[in-house]
Amino acid sequence: MGFGINSNIDALRAYNALATVNASTTKAQLRLATGKRINSVADDTSGYAVGKSLDQKVQLMQSAQRNVGSAQDMLSTAESQLTSVKDLITSIKAKIADSSNPATDSSKISGDIKALATEIANIFSTTKFNDTKLLSSLSSSQFNFQTGADSTDKLSLDYFNNASGSLSGAATLSTSAFTVEAVGTAGYTALTQLASAGTTAEAIGSLAAYIATFENTVDESISKIGNYEQRLTIKNDFLTAAIANSSASVSRLFDADVAKEQLNATKGQIMQQVATSMLSQLNSQPQNLLALFR
């Protein structure tokens, strides 16, 4: 050591070492307390930027996955109701076939057909998902779901416009038995004819042609729903994997290595004690100069 008393350089160096140890120990303890390796941008500037970007994408993909689930539920609702319509159409076709039997009562068959038509109309009018109609009063841009992290990654579910016709349209069908708003041409024509079905075998038999076109439209819609459900399943599987992988990357960037930080904290605490002791000794060394004045 030097023999000056105004500046104790060795003690200052020990103080700086103690300050560095304190800062390192505090950082390790903070990481243990929060469980995070990056607690401020200063800890890792580039890692913070990358991690926040990945975390944002994870949240967007989680939202998109919820959208996919809602779309699947909506399609399942439409599918179940269209399947019921298909079953009712089958029953009507069976009634039409029965009318060709001279031993049957055509007037009762006509009444049964009208009752089945009323139920079909009721399904079209009341099928909803979260108060949104699924089979009537629909537009081609109505069901657009964001199914990815990017706002442009969307899937439009247009299952009601088909080659043979549309389930939805502009015309409102109103009869003495039922009213259906904005039903498609095929359904409008078929339900109009069914609602006014005659009581003769010939009149009932003429309904077959209208039913056939309407049935084709329903079949195509069910088929399109199946295709959309397959695509949504694929998107859901992709999002599940992407979320897991992105979350793993965020974890590697932000999560603290608890075992390592515990070691650093313990080492820092020991060094704090040693540095404090050395600072005390070095700070008292100038007192040795007092022996020169004895």
Q: Which two tokens stand for residue 6?
A: 């105004």
pLDDT tens track for 92-117: 999 999 988 888 888 999 999 999 99
Q: What is the mean pLDDT of residues 116-139?
A: 89
pLDDT value, residue 182: 84
Residue that is written with structure tokens 């397959």 in the block:
230
Of 276, 290, 291, nearest in space to 11 by CA:
276
Question: Which residue spans within 75-193 are E strands per DSSP?
Answer: 128-129, 132-133, 144-146, 154-156, 161-162, 165-166, 173-174, 179-180
pLDDT value, residue 68: 97
Phi, psi of 284 (to 5 degrees): -95, -5
Q: What is the mean pLDDT of residues 134-158?
A: 87
Q: What is the mean pLDDT of residues 151-166?
A: 87
Residue 28, burial from CB neighbour count under 10 angstroms (0-12, 13-18, 19+): buried
| CB contact at 8 A, 154 and 68 | no
Residue that is written with structure tokens 């079949």 in the block:
219
Phi, psi of 44 (to 5 degrees): -165, 95
Axis-axis angle for helices 185-195, 106-126 (nearest 10):
140
pLDDT value, residue 185: 86
pTM score above 0.85: no
For residue 123, name the pLDDT band (cuts at 50, 70, 90). very high
The domain locations on the chain are 46-253
Question: Which residue spans within 104-200 are E strands per DSSP?
Answer: 128-129, 132-133, 144-146, 154-156, 161-162, 165-166, 173-174, 179-180
For residue 55, name the pLDDT band (cuts at 50, 70, 90). very high
Q: How many residues appear in the chain?
A: 294
pLDDT value, residue 288: 75
pLDDT value, residue 5: 67
Query: At 81, which amino acid appears?
Result: Q
165 or 256, higher pLDDT:
256
pLDDT tens track for 58-75: 999 999 999 999 999 999
Asked if the 46-253 domain carries CATH number 1.20.1330.10, the reply is yes
Bridge partners, 155 (sequence order): 145
pLDDT value, residue 2: 57
Q: What is the mean pLDDT of residues 240-263?
A: 93
Q: What is the mean pLDDT of residues 205-214?
A: 91
